[in-house]
Amino acid sequence: MEKKNIVAGNWKMNKTQKDAEEFIKNLAPLIKSCRSSVYIAPSFTALSQSLDAAKETNIIIGAQNMHDETDGAFTGEISGIMLKTLGVEFVILGHSERRHIFNEDNSFINRKVIRALKDGLEPILCIGETQKERSENKTEEVLEEQFCASLKGISKEDAQNIIVAYEPVWAIGTGKTATSEIAEHVHLFIRKLILKHFDKEIAKNMHILYGGSVKPNNVEELMQQENIDGVLVGGASLDYKIFAEIVNKA
Ligand code: 13P
């Protein structure tokens, strides 16, 4: 089967139920014949409307986070099984905003990845270095640590259902996209990590998405790189026309 690119939108803390529904209804006809798989991650509160609006379209709906336990005394949290039973298909885990603002560490993210797989959700595991780490030449060390610790104990069978997103923290929401050379260099490094950790088949098939200031004017060049299998878009996924342009160019 041919490997399709993935264009994913992460709406972060934006859009009410009504906004989400309108967005999806407007987007769907514009991307009907796109070549990529299209993923959108609304806020928890807009998931239900988004799922309804995305019925009979090629848009796949996911969540931006989940807890690693199934139920219990975790005020304010949402479990994988709650998402799965709602009809959600994927979940973003380890986003740098979760790591840096909400202090999530690799071991918590690892438990979430394991739980998401058990619950039948496709995890998009985000990894990425800060500006400081990059300037100290620690990019590869940081990525290897995040990758290995977040995927600890994951079997080869389960690894087939995981997507990795490389999101350099310095490129998120800053307008400073990694050049396609920098992104490709890191994606190749991640591809080799997958090979080392799992096997050749998984390394070949696993999607590695790039995220960080992806816009209509840089998506084509990024997508031309051999090891970039898609993009994870923040700010530019909030406007349906701009997001449609990205999807159709990818
Ligand atoms: P921006 O596209 O706004 O830089 O955000 C990227 C991101 O964090 C997607 O998860």
3-state secondary structure 201-248: HHHHHCCEEEECCCCCCCHHHHHCCCCCCEEEECHHHCCHHHHHHHHH
Measured from the CB, is residue 173 less than 6 Å from ligand 1?
A: yes
Tell me the C-alpha distance between 22 and 53, whole Å: 8
Closest approach atom of ligand 1 to CA 96: 8
Nearest CA to ligand 1 atom 7: 234
What is the dihedral sign for C-alpha 195, 157, 61, 144? negative
Measured from the CB, is residue 212 less than 6 Å from ligand 1?
A: yes
The model's pTM is 0.97
Distance 175 CA to ligand 1 centre (A): 10
Measured from the CB, is residue 234 less than 6 Å from ligand 1?
A: yes
How many Cβ atoms are within 10 Å of 245's Cβ, its own excluded?
18
Query: Can you tell me whether residue 39 is helix, strand or coil?
Result: strand
Distance 235 CA to ligand 1 centre (A): 6
Distance 96 CA to ligand 1 centre (A): 10
- Picking from 93, 68, 59, 64, the residue whose alpha carbon sits closest to that of residue 164 is 93
Taken in order of first residue, the domains within the chain and their CATH numbers are 6-249 (3.20.20.70)
Closest approach atom of ligand 1 to CA 212: 4
Rg (CA), the chain: 17
Exposed / middle / buried, residue 175 (Cβ in 10 Å: 0-12, 13-18, 19+): exposed
Answer for the pair 98, 104: CB distance below 8 angstroms, yes or no: yes
Query: Can you tell me whether residue 165 is helix, strand or coil?
Result: strand
Pocket of ligand 1, candidates 174, 222, 232: which has the most ligand atoms within 8 Å of its Cβ, to mutate? 232
Distance 237 CA to ligand 1 centre (A): 9
Measured from the CB, is residue 42 less than 6 Å from ligand 1?
A: no
- Picking from 164, 189, 166, the residue whose alpha carbon sits closest to that of residue 177 is 166
Measured from the CB, is residue 99 less than 6 Å from ligand 1?
A: no
- Picking from 47, 208, 37, the residue whose alpha carbon sits closest to that of residue 125 is 208
Please report, in tens digits, the pLDDT of each residue of the chain (250 residues total).
Answer: 678 999 999 999 999 999 999 999 999 999 999 999 999 999 999 999 999 999 999 999 999 999 999 999 999 999 999 999 999 999 999 999 999 999 999 999 999 999 999 999 999 999 999 999 999 999 999 999 999 999 999 999 999 999 999 999 998 888 888 899 999 999 999 999 999 999 999 999 999 999 999 999 999 999 999 999 999 999 999 999 999 999 999 9
Answer for the pair 111, 70: CB distance below 8 angstroms, yes or no: no
Measured from the CB, is residue 31 less than 6 Å from ligand 1?
A: no
Cite the active site residues.
95, 167
Residue 243: CB partners within 8 Å, gap ≥ 6? 9, 27, 233, 236, 237
Tell me the C-alpha distance between 114 and 106, whole Å: 12
